[in-house]
Amino acid sequence: MPPASFRALDPAVATSLLRNGLRVTTVALPHLHTATVALFIKVGSRFESPQDSGLSHFVEHMLFRGTEEHPTSLALNTAVEELGSTLHAETGRDYTLFQMALEPARVPAAVALLGELLGSPRFADIELERALILEELNEDYDEDGVETNVDDIARGMMFGKHPLGQRIIGPRANVQRFAAADVRRHFETFYGATNALLCVAGPVEHRRVVAAARRGLARLPAGRPAIPLPAPEPPSGPLLRHVRDTGSQTNLAVLFHGVPELDPGYLAFVTLLRVLDDGMSTRLHYQLADQKGLAYSIHAGIEPLADTALFEIAGATANTKVPELLREILGLLGGLCQGQVESEELSKARARYRYETLASIDDASAMAGWFGGMALYFQPPPLSKRLAAISRVTRADVIAAARRVFCPESLVITAVGALSRAKSAELRQVATTWQPMKPAKRARA
């Protein structure tokens, strides 16, 4: 059991189940002055066939085109903004989110609007919305139609033909042919109450939120819960792809298969990330940007999914520096595998993790995401349990996590930029010869 000093941080969380299968969760944050209303739907790119790739994102866009009560996009957005809020929506791989932040007294009205959104969508003006999505899609391609989004390319390489490897926005051909019948079919398949969770965080009372949900969302059909395909095994790497693009810089993405959130080693994995990149004094920024000038901006992150995770390092640098940047990145990772982890780094990582946890309790949106989005797939752990567990992570745990994650067999590298043939060959040589347990060899000047 976590120490009492940790348990005191846990907000009161309550969940009720409506008759139609909708889960309603509240996170009581009485110290705040605003609330967040978040509706999570278990639908996204990992639930799509190749023929439907991009349809979840398309449906999310179409839901903004009005309801029976507010029949145009202008009327719907005006109704939201009259509450002092903005309707935020996003489609991911594992779920889709609709969210509003507003005064606590206006929570029932926000829940009612979400009920309209899901209960009586018009799905009007499909050609207008198609044009907007195609413009959004154009950002990821060059003028010759070559895909240049380094993140999507890398994830396609990591997950292959599995739905997790599909682009969230989908291919252009799909976006061009989706019809109103496709939108309604997808909506009716996934937007049932048993596939959704309403989470309200802030200075709210559970019984009042449940009452508002019964009024606004109880009429939703139950539907069927969506069951995703299990995540695939990591590819047999290392894999490298260079996509030619114009410009003086190359975007570089370095991905590894990570540790899933329910795995006992997950918090050692989180600590490993923070040792590598958590502030300007950690080694990724300090050594590669501050001291060696190999990149102005470079960062590492974890993308947690329902049953897997990705570890990513992303940055951009001059075309001539790309092989050296990759060599230095892999050298840092090899050093972690070889045990180059200091106790002072662990102490700093714990302190920053604790601060960010405290800050999240002052952020209704963060709490809605923690106790709402995660709960679509598994029970969110109490914050106190996470703090207690991360305080027990040892140097040996972090080194073991590095050796588990940073291996050539699960390495995927994508470079988008105007590399010369010589630099492209050098990049491939760096990628294919890396051995994390061997000291890195310095390049000749």
Grade residue 437 by pLDDT with cuts at 50, 70 and 90. Answer: confident
- Do residues 95 and 305 lie in contact, with contact meaning Cβ atoms separated by under 8 Å? no
In tens, the pLDDT along 320-363 reads 999 999 999 999 999 999 999 999 999 999 999 999 999 999 99
Mean predicted confidence (pLDDT) in 414-439: 94
Grade residue 444 by pLDDT with cuts at 50, 70 and 90. Answer: very low
pTM: 0.94
In tens, the pLDDT along 89-139 reads 999 999 999 999 999 999 999 999 999 999 999 999 999 999 999 999 999
Mean predicted confidence (pLDDT) in 271-282: 96
- 1 pLDDT more than 90: no
Instruction: Output the pLDDT for position 143.
Output: 87
In tens, the pLDDT along 370-422 reads 999 999 999 999 999 999 999 999 999 999 999 999 999 999 999 999 999 99
In tens, the pLDDT along 208-250 reads 999 999 999 998 999 999 999 999 998 898 999 999 998 899 9
Q: Which of the two residues, 366 and 441, has the higher pLDDT score?
A: 366
Instruction: Output the pLDDT for position 7.
Output: 62
| CB half-sphere exposure, 266, CA atoms < 13 A | 18
Domains of the chain: 11-217 (3.30.830.10), 239-433 (3.30.830.10)
Query: Two tokens at 405?
Result: 């994650």
HEC string of 192-215?
CHHHEEEEEEECCCHHHHHHHHHH
Query: Two tokens at 264?
Result: 């006992």
Query: Two tokens at 270?
Result: 């989180």
Distance in angstroms (rounded) separating the CA atoms of residues 93 and 164: 7
Q: Is 123 left (phi over 0), alpha (psi -120 to 50) or beta?
A: left
- 166 pLDDT more than 50: yes
- 6 pLDDT more than 80: no
Q: What are phi and psi of 343, to 5 degrees?
A: -60, -35
In tens, the pLDDT along 36-81 reads 999 999 999 999 999 999 999 999 999 999 999 999 999 999 999 9
- Do residues 169 and 178 lie in contact, with contact meaning Cβ atoms separated by under 8 Å? no
- Residue 379's nearest CA partner among 197, 193, 189 is 197
Secondary structure E strands in 244-293: 249-257
3-state DSSP assignment of residue 21: coil
- 3 pLDDT more than 70: no
Q: How far is CA 101 from CA 16, 88, 98, in A?
A: 22, 9, 11
- Do residues 85 and 105 lie in contact, with contact meaning Cβ atoms separated by under 8 Å? no
Distance in angstroms (rounded) separating the CA atoms of residues 330 and 318: 18
Instruction: Output the pLDDT for position 441.
Output: 57
Query: Two tokens at 198?
Result: 């309403």
Task: Report the percentage of the chain scoring pLDDT > 70.
Answer: 97
- Do residues 180 and 126 lie in contact, with contact meaning Cβ atoms separated by under 8 Å? yes
Instruction: Output the pLDDT for position 378.
Output: 94
3-state DSSP assignment of residue 224: coil
Q: If you count them, how many residues does the chain have?
A: 445
